Amino acid sequence: SLRVMLRCLIFCLLLPGFLFLPKVSLGQKENIDWKKDILFLKKELPSKHVDLFRNISEKDFNRMLDDILRSSESMTDLEIRIALQQLIAKVGDTHTNIELGGQVFRDGMLPLQLYWFADGIYILHTLPVHKAILGNRITSINDFPIETIVDSLSTIFVNEVSGYQKNFIPKYLTIAAMLRKFGFATGENFKLGLQDTSGRTWYYPLAPAELNRRNREVLMPDSLNLILRNENAWFDVQYLQDDSILYVMYNKCWSRELALKYDSDAENLEELPSFAEFEAKVLKMISTLPVTKLVVDLRFNKGGNSQQGKEFVEKIATIPAVKAKLFVVIGRATFSSAVLNAMDFKSKTNAVFVGERAGGTPNHFGEVKSFQLPSSGLKVSYSTKYFTRTKSSVNTLDPDFPVDFNFSDFIRGEDAAYNFIRNYH
């Protein structure tokens, strides 16, 4: 039924990355030699990273790492992990991180799935017993304003890229251990400050519990708009005849062709979508249909390999038949190679950019590798290349026309970015 289909789609909707984090069994404090791990990190990360000290001096990095080492005896394992990630965030590379590990989740998670809309952070999923709080905006946790909590959690992430933070902070807001570490909770009891759509404010008690695909209650919008219906497709194209708009969704910088080239041993390669076939279809539609506006949507594209997108942009830019106004839609999940392709549009076309600030930056680190810390086994990811796509000092990719995504748009099934493009003259 339509309702079942909507439930399946809305489960993955809008919330990239680890929607539901793995359940981890309770256990005693881990026996980790943090001195060994920190000294290993101090040696290995600078030697492996392409340019670790581009945004932070080597002296400051080592001083802060030494401070963590000196304090480690009096810190919990979680405090050490977070301190290390806070330091690594100062490197200014969204691809370089240290995993926090299973301990973060051992004390449980609040059974909430959240999304940060332009008008606040709202509850989209929870357990059936808490159904009454679906669609409410969170204003506080344990009487701490949500803005205060967000400020603290922001220290874990590269602070220049607000789109990136908006993508991940809602996930961290549900981690009980994280809230306790920053002083916003003690024990097992949590009190949510809420505001419903009528403006009524109220409080709701909540305890950590497991939320998964089988036991969730999902907030159902009136309908799903075009982009949300196709969010899980790697690429999609539709001609919207009433508006004479050709709408291209480019959600993944990967394809059968790239897999054959770079991962030829992978299973089921022939089942992967072909970008060559998709590209041919798009170019044919451009040349044969009465298109007045061509839209390329990168809002859900978290990256991969930028080469096929670069060549696609070049073909669009050189086809004489393309007389349509070109729009590129970006958002908080536009990241890594997708940002490089967005910059290709900027340099090679006269595209109008619409949407939110991107989750990545025009010039950024990439081509990620990783190593493990010897005692804790935690994975440290690091960049091996720096991509330069602009000589400007700007460190964000902003749209020409910012378009907010409000909770009311979500509920009505509206796409404010599409409405803007449709009415643009």
Burial of 133 per CB tally in 10 Å (0-12, 13-18, 19+): buried
pLDDT recorded at residue 169: 93
The residue ranges of the chain whose pLDDT is under 50 are 1-6, 8-9, 11-12, 14-29
pLDDT recorded at residue 16: 41
The residue among 133, 137, 134 whose CA lies nearest residue 119 is 137
What is the per-residue pLDDT across 348-387, written as a single tens digit (0 to 9) for each?
A: 999 999 999 998 888 888 889 999 999 999 999 999 999 8
pLDDT recorded at residue 121: 98
Question: Per-residue DSSP letters for 115-178?
Answer: EEETTEEEEEEE-GGGGGGTTPEEEEETTEEHHHHHHHHGGGS-TT-HHHHHHHHHHHTTBHHH
Asked if residue 418 lies in contact with residue 225, where contact means CB atoms within 8 angstroms, the answer is yes
Asked if residue 107 lies in contact with residue 176, where contact means CB atoms within 8 angstroms, the answer is yes
Q: Take residue 396 and report the two structure tokens written for it.
A: 């964000």
Element housing 312 (H / E): helix 307-318
pLDDT recorded at residue 161: 63
Amino acid in position 73: E
CA distance linking residue 311 with residue 341, whole number of Å: 9
CA distance linking residue 425 with residue 417, whole number of Å: 14
pLDDT recorded at residue 320: 65
Asked if residue 8 lies in contact with residue 1, where contact means CB atoms within 8 angstroms, the answer is no
pLDDT recorded at residue 393: 66
pLDDT recorded at residue 20: 35
pLDDT recorded at residue 5: 43
pLDDT recorded at residue 19: 33
